[in-house]
Amino acid sequence: MSGLAGRLLRELRVELGFLTRRALLNVVAASTFTPRPLRWALYRACGMAVRTPNVFPGLQIAGRPGNLDVGTGTFVNTGCFFELVAEVSIGRDCQLGMQTMVVTSHHEAAGGEVSRRPVGRPVRIGDRVWTGARVTVLPGVRIADDVVLAAGAVVTRDCPEPGLYAGVPARLVRSAAPVGAP
């Protein structure tokens, strides 16, 4: 009985730690009453590599906080959602619009059945990327530097070159002018 009780106690401790961290991130840090410097400190204390204090209220985190890496100068607008089953890397000087959603998990299908266990695929967002309101980035996507994602775009595959991507699914609608072009 003591082996079972010990295992249950360890599982309870892990679950309480998870719930405490989740409450700190998704309730306290996400509150409009929490000042940005305190919000930034809470994110860092919970293991998130957030190198910018420019995270507005309402950010919701699901998954492992240590899977998030946000570069300097990046702005995360209100109501964004990051699912952190796998790593999410957001570069420097990005601008994420309201309610931008980054998803990292999917469920594999094998032999006609869909697995119940989520499988993570990392997402990488380059430097100087701008997302409009309610952009959705799906698992395994890589977005190049200097990409603009139009509001409401659903990014289902890589955005390999700088330019404007729009639509569902998102596609390149305008290439960026080369640096130094008139």
Q: Tens of pLDDT along 16-59?
A: 666 677 788 898 899 999 999 999 999 999 899 999 999 999 99
Count other C-beta atoms under 10 Å from residue 50's C-beta.
24
Q: Is the pLDDT of residue 168 over 70?
A: yes
Residue 49, beta-bridge partner list: 69
| pLDDT band of 4, cuts 50, 70, 90 | confident
Top pLDDT among 83 and 14 is at 83
Q: Is the pLDDT of residue 175 over 80?
A: yes
Helix ranges (DSSP H) in the chain: 2-23, 36-45
| pLDDT band of 179, cuts 50, 70, 90 | low
- Between strands 171-175 and 154-155, the pairing is unpaired
Please say if 106 is a catalytic residue: no
N-term to C-term CA, the chain: 77
pTM of the predicted protein model: 0.84
User: Which residue spans within 66-122 are E strands per DSSP?
Assistant: 68-70, 75-76, 81-84, 88-90, 95-96, 101-102, 105-106, 109-110, 113-114, 119-120
Top pLDDT among 144 and 28 is at 144
What are the structural domains of the chain? 2-175 (2.160.10.10)
Exactly one of 10, 13, 107, 157 is catalytic; name it.
Answer: 107
Mean pLDDT of the chain: 89
- Between strands 88-90 and 154-155, the pairing is unpaired
Q: Is the pLDDT of residue 1 over 80?
A: no
| pLDDT band of 3, cuts 50, 70, 90 | confident
